Each structure stands twice: as C-alpha cells, then as structure tokens.
Amino acid sequence: MKDGVFGGVDFHCHLDLYPDHVEAIARAEAACVYTLTMTTTPKAWPRNNELVRGKRFVRAALGLHPQLVAERAGELGLWEQYLPETRYVGEVGLDAGPRYYKSLATQKRVFETILKRCAEAGDKILSIHSVRTAPTILDMLEQYLPEARGKAVLHWFTGSKSDARRAAELGCYFSLNVDMTRSEKGRALIGDIPMDRILTETDGPFTQLDGRPSEPTMVGRAVSEIARLRGVSVEQMTSQVRENLKALMGIVSSRELDH
C-alpha cells in the first residue's frame, strides 16, 4: 500500500459467494481496498487461497462457519490441516440464534479447537461471528486465545455495551458495517467502541447498498456513516481505520501492507 492510493478496509466479506468471484476480487484489488474475504468451510479454502495468491490488497481467511457446523463439523480436521497456510482465520465463532441453537454444543467444541490451534500457532488474526453469544465468545477468548497469542476481530458485533467494553479490554477489534448504523442499538455501540479498535467491513453479499449486494469498493459508505456518528471528518475516520489496521497487523510502515 502506498500513500495516496489507500482505498479503505473491508475486513469481512465473502467474495466467493458473488456470481463473478474472480471479477469481485479484481475490483477490490484495483480499488486498493484492503480486503479480507471469508471462507465458510475448509473445503472452500484451496480455491479461495489460489485466487488471492499474489494479490496486494485481497487476502483470504480460513473458516468453518458456526451456522454450518451441524453439517460440517467433520471438516475440522481439514481446517487444522490448512491452518499453517494462512495468518487469517474466518469466519468462525458461535451462533445461538433460533435456527442454530441445537448445534451450539458442537459449535463450542469446534470453536475451542480453533482457538487452541491458533494459540499454538501464534500470530493469527481471527474474524469472529458472535450472534447471541458475546459473553461466551469472550470467556473462550480469555481462556484459550490470550492477546499475546492471536488477535480477535468481532464481526458485526451485536453484544451489549458492557460486552464491548470487556472485548476492548481483552484486546479485541470490531469490524463495523453500514447496517449497524441503521439500528438504535448499533449506533449506540458504534458510539461506545474505542476509536483505536474500529475497522470497517461490508459483509457482502449479505448486505446491500443502493439495491445491490455490497462489495469492498463500497466500504467508504461505512466510513462516512461511522464518522458522522463519531463526530469526526471522513478523512479523520479513514486515517484512523488505516492506523488501526496497521496496529492489528503489527505493521510499522504502510508499505508493509503490500506484502
């Protein structure tokens, strides 16, 4: 990444779920948007990893989505096999919503293993799903993945303000999207999260802007909405997100983001 061409940060999206997967990656790359694209199953990893190999701005994360654990828990061994190939892990976590509550015990077992393996490996960055499970997620992070062994980014966080404060104390970051700014609870959370822990995301194609699926090139809308809620300029917020990304990744020079 070079000064003057920074296109923003989309730290959670699903580019492999777009009809034009290859073109979506190309658009993010051309726009210089630092993009982390999730995989939802380990079997999707090889293809996703291949498509982002050599890219400057687009990275792939190795995931096992909690909403798929009921059917895909048997792929945990495959996830462990691929882990040495990447620094990035996602989408992983827990979901206690009505549709997925029956698999919560299995989700916890899978997530515990993921956290333990990341701690053993060290220096992993995780994008974490935490629907109706924020306190449990934080308990598990505290027990199995101390900050010195890995970094957690809470994607589309919907916990309480006290959960958010505890998460920040544990060293977590938060990836925020436009949809979060549309609810009173989301706006309150955004107003309470420490500025130095804010990243941005689209979660495309699961969100929409202007009647079409969001993608990394649209992440500027999240920046502008968060800036408005925090009472700062878009330029200040853009700079803050960039510095937060560098801090998360342990980077001193912006140029290192190119590699």
* pLDDT tens-digit series, residues 92-137: 999 999 999 999 999 999 999 999 999 999 999 999 999 999 999 9
Instruction: State yes or no: pLDDT of 88 exceeds 90.
Output: yes
Of 104-108, 155-159, 208-212, the range with the lowest mean pLDDT is 208-212
Q: Does a structural domain hold residue 93? A: yes
Instruction: State yes or no: pLDDT of 5 exceeds 60.
Output: yes
The parent domain of residue 146 ranges over: 9-258
What pLDDT was estimated at residue 52?
97
CATH no. for residue 155?
3.20.20.140
Instruction: State yes or no: pLDDT of 246 exceeds 60.
Output: yes
What pLDDT was estimated at residue 257?
53
What pLDDT was estimated at residue 252?
54
Q: Does a structural domain hold residue 154? A: yes
Q: Could you give the CA distance from residue 174 to residue 164 in angstroms, rounded to a whole number?
A: 9
Q: Does a structural domain hold residue 28? A: yes
Q: Does a structural domain hold residue 2? A: no
Instruction: State yes or no: pLDDT of 173 exceeds 90.
Output: yes
Q: Does a structural domain hold residue 4? A: no
When the pLDDT of each residue in the chain is averaged and rounded to a whole number, the result is 94
- Extract the tokens encoding 118: 């990341």
Burial class (CB in 10 A: 0-12, 13-18, 19+), 82: middle
- Given a contact cutoff of 8 angstroms between Cβ atoms, the answer to whether 181 and 226 are in contact is yes
Domain count, the chain: 1
pLDDT band at 225 (very low <50, low <70, confident <90, very high): very high
pLDDT band at 258 (very low <50, low <70, confident <90, very high): very low
Q: Does a structural domain hold residue 66? A: yes
Q: Could you give the CA distance from residue 185 to residue 232 in angstroms, rounded to a whole number?
A: 20
Burial class (CB in 10 A: 0-12, 13-18, 19+), 205: middle
pLDDT band at 41 (very low <50, low <70, confident <90, very high): very high
What percent of the chain shows pLDDT beyond 70? 95
Q: Does a structural domain hold residue 71? A: yes
pLDDT average, residue stretch 142-170: 97
Quote the pTM value. 0.95
Q: Does a structural domain hold residue 152? A: yes
